[in-house]
Every structure is written in C-alpha cells, then in structure tokens.
C-alpha cells in the first residue's frame, strides 16, 4: 500500500501534517484521555502476535485509540473458515496473507503508523526482536499455539513487559493480565509441568483462562477436540476480547494503576448477563480447580469419537529441483485413502514413480455380491484420485490424470503426474481440502433440515468441470416418502441374501481390538445401531440364525431403519455418469467424492443408500436370474417406480454411481480406520 498517497490525500481535508491529523482524528478521545495521554499513546508500541479473530481486531481497536507503533506477526492466509470471526476475512482477500491485509486496514485508518512485520510468525530466533521497545503485548495467538505462547510470555516477563490475554469463550471473553514484576508467571499460574501432553496443556490453559466458566452452560463440548485442534468461536466474543484487553493496555501504557495481574481473573458474558471475577489462589494448583479440571476432562473424553481421523502434519514445500518430495507423495497418499469404499474394504494399491503415482485396483479386497464387475471398487478408486488431486493443490502442485484403458490392464486404473505450478509461491488451499479429513458415513437419523436451492446449486456446481457426470436432488417430502418405500423394499433383500449377510458380518469389527488389528471394515459402534441393534447384530452373525429369523419377517424390521433414515433427511442425491466403462465410473467416483466433500463443507452428514443402484447394475450386467423369483418381481416393480422419479435419466445409458441421503445431525461416536500405507504400496 502506498502510504505517501494516503498522506497526500489528507491535504484536501486541510490535514497537512501528522500533528494536525492526530489532533483531528483522535479529538473525540479527549475527555476520556488527556492531550498528554493521547500523545503518549501515539509514541507507544504494542506487540500483537497473530492477526486472526482476536489479534486482528486488537490491531484495529488500538489503532483507533491512537496507538502509533506496532509489531505484528502472522504467517497464515485468509480463507472462508475465517469469515465468521476475523476482521480481515473478506472474499476479495481469500488466499492473501493475514499480516499484509491487516497492515493495509490499519494504515487506511492511520497512514502515519509505524508497523514492524514478522511474516514468519514468532519463534525462538526472532522473539527478542519482536519484543524490542514494546510497552505491552496483546496476545492474539491461536488457542492451540501453546509452545509459542509459552515462550512469548516467558520472554516478556524477563524483559519487564506486561502481557494481556483475552480469550473468546462462547459469547463471552475471559481476561488475564501477566505482570513482569508481580503476580504469577505463565507456567506457575496454569500449572504447566514437564512431560505434559499437548492435550493436557490445552486443558490447563482453558481451565486457567476462565476459572468460573459461564460459557459451559451453553457450549456443546462435543464440538471441542484438542487432538484436532478445533472448537467453536464467535465474532461477538472476539469484539468483547478487544474491548476489555484494549482497556487494560491503555491503563498500563498510561500508568493509570488498578492493574490486577494473575491469579486475578475476569470474565464477562453478555449472553447470560454475567460478570465473574476473583482471585484463583495458587492458580490451577487450587484444589477446587483441580477437581473442575478432572470433571471437564471426563466430559471431553465422554464426547470423544473413537478412531478419529487426524490430518497429518503438512510437509515443507521445496520446488527448487522440480521433484516432488517423498514426504509430499506420502501425504497425498494418506489423503487419497481417506476416500470411501464398499464396507471400508479399501480396494487400492499404489506404485510410486518420480513425480507420479500409479493407482491399481485390488480385486481381492471386495468380492461381495454388491461389487458387480468391481464397479463399486472402481468408483472408490475415482474418489481416491479426487482426494489426491485436491490435496496436491495445497502444495501448489498440479495433477494430470491419465486413465488407463480397461483393455490394456485389468488392475491399473490411472496414472497421476504431478508438477509444481509456476505461481506456487501463492499457494491457495483447495476449498474442499479440510473436508477430506472430516468426511465420514453418518448412519444416525437426521433432523429434517430444509436445504436451500442455493446450496444445492453450489453442490451441483462443484462437479460441473467433470464432464459426463450429473447429480440430481430430491428434497420434496412427498417424493422422499415415496423413495423411502422403495428403499425399504430393496433393503429387505440385504438380510435375505446369504452372500450379502456373510460379507457384512465379515466386515463388522465386533471389538475395538479387532478393529485396531485389521484397520478396515466397520467398528461395531460405527454402525450407530444402539445397544439393541448391536445385540441383534451379534446374535445374527450366523446365517442359519438370520435365515430362520427372516421367516418371521425380521428383514422388514431391519429395512424399516433405512425407511426412517430417508424420512429424517434433508434430501437424497443421485450421482450418474454417461457410460458404463471403467473411465466413466472412475470419473463418477471423483464426482461422488467432490459432492460428498462439498456437503461436508456445508455442514451436512451423508449416508450411502446403495442397494437400489448396485442391484440394478447386477441385474443389467448379469441378468435378472441373479435374484430369486420373488426378489425379481420386487426389484422389477421398484426399478419401474425409481425410473419414474428420475424421468430425465436414461438408465440404460447412464451409469448410476451412488444414491445417498444427506442432512444435519450430531457427529458419529466412532469412525473407521485405514490400513498403514505400507499395506498399499511397498516404496513409501
């Protein structure tokens, strides 16, 4: 930004010098501040690590208060996930460095500011420079940036600098002041000890921030995950943080007194109209505080999902040689295998070449009745390809996808060639990247959330670049009820077919130990069947038992769960492709994954409802005699009705990829696992 032009533009307002601008711009402060105090603020320097939700608004608040000098740091970029709470997050600035955007915003308010930038963030090598000539530090670091926060607080105390931390908690803000010459230090107050795990440190930090937490009354603790480093946050709380922290900063700079450093604490919650303040004797070592910590730890453990998928650490990017590093290739493969597969069979194999990955179909992984001609597994390979392509873009890497003709090789599906884009210095994370690690099948009942046509159009747009693919949505309640009846009829076949029954039980992991050893299939809790359902599944593992129960009509009870699932949903989607060849279904798998990730990004849950489409493919390819006579009549009637629901689709030429339901619901209690990469490829 050209600050000279900004300063020159002030002349048309008869503001011809820095002195004249300050006198006019901050004249309304006088009365609450004296003229001498206003000049003191102009000469003061505040350090703000982090330009996100709290740090960004700190910079603006202090700039409008008349502070004239800043040291600011941040290495991150703005993206859509920042919109709800971060001052600088705007669509026009997606992909731009937060540091640069916020500096521009501050200079637009006061072009005479003196701002020192630290675009690499804070670390051991620059923390002393970051604190040079600083009067006070306003903590704007991310909650989970614990080690750097600990270093910063320690260094500031050594240098005689106050540090103020204000944390957004629900609708509220908690405030702590760390003084250099009195009160408690960071480790002492939060009771940070040697050997503590990261999750224990996060919990200690959270407990010390708000010893008498008001936000606990309305916060959904199931959305707090220390391992995934995520939790809810609102803009209103960020604004409150800045107001109360800024007040303390002014009090400190102007030496007005009244500072109460830790173990004193303060929390204001406008949602509950509550003000909590006091002194936490001994900090987190306080006996009552210790008990509270154990209770909160129990609640977090209770809501923790088993077998959580955690995104691996992003490897460093180096394109000097043009060779994609082995660590990046490994990361891409880990992203790839987060793709869905039939019964989580994981039917993939990989081979690594220089700047390339070969993707093979593992036919032995899934030989179920559903997987006719390996089409379901081919679709899964397509989903793997899409995940890899999305993940590669995060590193500034372009992916060329070359399908291999099914006439040339039975197992080789595709070759992915990678190369760094010329503008790889301006890396923009793909909008669906984070959803790769959040994608899962959710078999719970949903909440009938009404989805807007705008969201559905966005989902459709997400696959528009994949030629030969199509997606159609059903959201009208009458049509959903009609479709639910069809699914109810077809799903009865699942329990009546011995092959399908035995395959399902082969893929259910009835104990956590079995799930951890095999790392495929479904952990029992993942099926969300409830206690009664789990007992039923265990009791009917034997086909003889299941077959005997089928004669009592038990298959109708099991299928009724699918019926209710459709009725509880926001809608149902059907993905199709323009052919039945291998390349079409690979592209269909890519479209399916992109659709699924787009729905996840919008906050929806997804569950495949595969019986109708996969039974139709078997009927079409192998013939109706694959089914007993009674099932032939049932399927013929269902298929006739199904075609009427989709009059624009010629199912004789359009290959069905997947039918699935989607909606809003609580998160699942147990995820699924993936095998180690060594199982899929030998040269990782």
State yes or no: pLDDT of 241 exceeds 70: yes
Q: Are residues 579 and 641 in the same domain?
A: yes
**What's the DSSP call for residue 316?**
P
Tally of structural domains, the chain: 3
CB atoms inside a 10 Å sphere around CB 257: 7
Contact at 8 Å (CB) between 377 and 410?
no
Q: What local confidence, expressed as pLDDT, does residue 428 receive?
A: 64
What confidence tens digit (pLDDT) does each residue in 89-116 have? 999 998 899 999 999 999 999 999 999 9
CA gap 170, 178 in Å, rounded:
23
* 226 domain-assigned: no
CB atoms inside a 10 Å sphere around CB 537: 17
Q: Strands 136-139 and 162-169: what pairing?
A: parallel
Q: Are residues 403 and 540 in the same domain?
A: no
* 309 domain-assigned: no
CATH code, domain with 458: 3.40.109.10
Q: Are residues 573 and 544 in the same domain?
A: yes
Q: Are residues 529 and 444 in the same domain?
A: yes
* 205 domain-assigned: no
CA gap 173, 209 in Å, rounded:
9
* Domain termination residue (choose one: 412, 435, 458): 435
Residue where the block lists tokens 């530090």? 137
CA gap 643, 652 in Å, rounded:
10
Q: What local confidence, expressed as pLDDT, does residue 16 receive?
A: 87
Contact at 8 Å (CB) between 355 and 324?
yes
CATH code, domain with 169: 3.40.50.720
Residues sharing a CB contact under 8 Å with residue 645, sequence separation 6 or more, in sequence order: 474, 479, 482, 483
| Average pLDDT for 564-573 | 96
CA gap 675, 307 in Å, rounded:
12
Query: What's the token pair of residue 30?
Result: 């006088």
* 218 domain-assigned: no
Q: Are residues 427 and 457 in the same domain?
A: no
State yes or no: pLDDT of 340 exceeds 80: yes
**What's the DSSP call for residue 343?**
G
| Average pLDDT for 254-280 | 95
State yes or no: pLDDT of 71 exceeds 50: yes
Beta strand residue intervals within 63-191, DSSP E:
69-73, 114-118, 136-139, 162-169, 172-178
For 58, 97, 206, 251, 262, the CA distances from 162, given in Å and listed in that order, are 16, 28, 20, 11, 11
Q: Are residues 552 and 634 in the same domain?
A: yes
State yes or no: pLDDT of 523 exceeds 80: yes
CA gap 657, 375 in Å, rounded:
9
CA gap 684, 678 in Å, rounded:
7
Q: Are residues 24 and 110 in the same domain?
A: yes
| Average pLDDT for 368-393 | 95
* 148 domain-assigned: yes
- Which candidate, 285, 165, 289, 295, places its Cα nearest to that of 221? 295
Q: Which of 64-68, 435-439, 491-495 has the highest mean pLDDT?
A: 64-68
Q: Strands 508-509 and 522-523: what pairing?
A: parallel
- Domain range for 15 is 3-191+232-281
Contact at 8 Å (CB) between 87 and 132?
no
Model confidence at 424, in pLDDT bands (50, 70, 90)?
very low
State yes or no: pLDDT of 642 exceeds 60: yes
Q: Are residues 422 and 449 in the same domain?
A: no
Query: What's the token pair of residue 374?
Result: 């390996």
Model confidence at 322, in pLDDT bands (50, 70, 90)?
confident
* Domain termination residue (choose one: 435, 458, 482): 435
Q: Are residues 115 and 181 in the same domain?
A: yes
CA gap 631, 496 in Å, rounded:
10
How many residues does the structure list for the chain? 684
* 303 domain-assigned: no
606 by DSSP, 3-state: which? strand
State yes or no: pLDDT of 582 exceeds 60: yes
CA gap 208, 185 in Å, rounded:
12
Q: What local confidence, expressed as pLDDT, does residue 226 receive?
A: 65
State yes or no: pLDDT of 469 exceeds 90: yes
State yes or no: pLDDT of 411 exceeds 70: yes
State yes or no: pLDDT of 218 exceeds 80: yes
User: What is the widest separation between alpha-carbon atoms in the chain?
Assistant: 95
Q: Are residues 397 and 495 in the same domain?
A: no
Q: Are residues 276 and 396 in the same domain?
A: no
Give helix then strand counts, H and E, for the chain.
25, 18
Average pLDDT of the chain is 91
Q: What local confidence, expressed as pLDDT, does residue 233 receive?
A: 87
Q: Are residues 563 and 615 in the same domain?
A: yes
Taking the whole predicted model, whether its pTM rises above 0.75 is answered as: no
388 burial (CB, 10 Å; 0-12 / 13-18 / 19+) is buried
* 211 domain-assigned: no
What confidence tens digit (pLDDT) does each residue in 288-306 have? 999 999 988 887 776 667 7
CA gap 380, 680 in Å, rounded:
14
Q: What local confidence, expressed as pLDDT, does residue 67 receive?
A: 97
* 319 domain-assigned: no
CA gap 394, 74 in Å, rounded:
19
| Omega before residue 263 within 30° of 0, cis | yes
């Amino acid at each position: 930004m050209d600050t000279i032009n900004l300063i020159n533009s002030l002349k048309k307002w008869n503001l011809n010098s820095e002195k004249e601008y300050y006198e006019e711009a901050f004249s309304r402060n006088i009365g609450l501040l004296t003229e001498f105090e206003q000049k003191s603020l102009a000469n003061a320097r505040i350090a703000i690590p982090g330009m996100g939700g709290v740090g960004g608004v700190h910079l603006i608040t202090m700039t409008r208060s008349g502070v004239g000098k800043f040291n600011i740091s941040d290495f991150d970029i703005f993206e859509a996930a920042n919109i709800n709470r971060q001052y600088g997050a705007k669509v026009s600035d997606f992909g731009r460095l937060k540091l640069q955007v916020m500096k521009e915003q501050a200079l637009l308010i006061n072009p005479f500011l003196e701002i020192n930038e630290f675009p690499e963030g804070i670390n051991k090598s620059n923390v002393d420079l970051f604190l040079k000539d600083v009067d006070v530090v306003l903590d704007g670091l991310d909650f989970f940036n614990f080690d750097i926060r600990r270093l910063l607080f320690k260094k500031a105390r050594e240098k005689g600098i106050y540090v103020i931390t204000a944390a957004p908690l629900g609708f509220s803000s908690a405030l702590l002041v760390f003084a250099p010459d009195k009160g408690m230090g960071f480790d002492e107050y939060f009771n940070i000890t040697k050997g503590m795990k990261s999750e224990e440190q996060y919990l200690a930090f959270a407990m010390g921030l708000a010893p008498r937490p008001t936000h606990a009354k309305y916060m959904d603790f199931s959305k707090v995950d220390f391992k995934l480093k995520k939790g809810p946050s609102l803009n209103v709380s960020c604004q409150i943080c800045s107001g109360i922290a800024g007040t303390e900063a002014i009090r400190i700079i102007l030496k007005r007194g009244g500072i109460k450093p830790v173990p004193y604490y303060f929390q204001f919650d406008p949602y509950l109209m509550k003000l909590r303040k006091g002194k936490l004797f001994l900090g987190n070592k306080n006996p009552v505080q210790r008990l509270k910590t154990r209770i909160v730890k129990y609640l977090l453990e209770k809501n923790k999902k088993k077998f959580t998928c955690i995104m691996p650490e992003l490897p460093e990017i180096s394109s000097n040689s043009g060779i994609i590093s082995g660590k990046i290739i490994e990361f891409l493969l880990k992203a790839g295998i987060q793709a869905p597969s039939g019964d989580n069979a994981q039917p993939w194999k990989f081979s690594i070449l220089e700047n390339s990955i070969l993707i093979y179909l593992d036919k032995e992984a899934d030989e179920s009745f559903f997987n006719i001609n390996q089409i379901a597994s081919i679709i899964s390979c397509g989903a793997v390809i899409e995940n890899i392509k999305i993940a590669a873009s995060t590193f500034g890497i372009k992916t060329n996808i070359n399908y291999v003709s099914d006439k040339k090789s039975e197992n080789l599906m595709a070759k992915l060639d990678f190369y760094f884009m010329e503008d790889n210095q301006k890396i923009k994370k793909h909008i669906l990247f984070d959803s790769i690690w959040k994608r899962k099948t959710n078999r719970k009942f949903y909440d009938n959330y009404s989805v807007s046509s705008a969201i559905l159009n966005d989902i459709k747009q997400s696959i528009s670049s994949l030629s030969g693919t199509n997606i159609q949505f059903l959201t009208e309640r009458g049509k959903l009820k009609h479709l639910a009846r069809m699914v109810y009829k077809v799903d009865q076949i699942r329990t009546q077919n011995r092959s399908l029954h035995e395959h399902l039980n082969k893929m259910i992991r009835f104990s956590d130990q079995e799930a951890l050893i095999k790392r495929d299939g479904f952990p029992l809790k993942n099926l969300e069947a409830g206690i009664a359902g789990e007992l039923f599944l265990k009791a009917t593992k034997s086909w003889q038992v299941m077959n005997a129960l089928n004669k009592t009509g038990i298959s109708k009870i099991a299928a009724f769960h699918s019926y209710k699932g459709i009725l509880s949903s926001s809608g149902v989607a059907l993905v199709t492709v323009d052919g039945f060849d291998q390349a079409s279904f690979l592209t269909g798998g890519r479209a399916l994954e992109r659709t699924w990730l787009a729905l996840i990004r919008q906050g929806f849950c997804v569950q495949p409802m595969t019986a109708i489409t996969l039974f139709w493919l078997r009927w079409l390819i192998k013939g109706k005699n694959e089914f007993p006579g009674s099932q032939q009549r049932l399927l013929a009637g269902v298929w006739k009705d199904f075609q009427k629901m989709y009059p624009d689709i010629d199912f004789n030429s359009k290959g069905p990829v997947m039918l699935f339901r989607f909606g809003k619901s609580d998160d699942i209690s147990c995820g699924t696992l993936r095998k180690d990469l060594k199982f899929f490829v030998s040269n990782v």
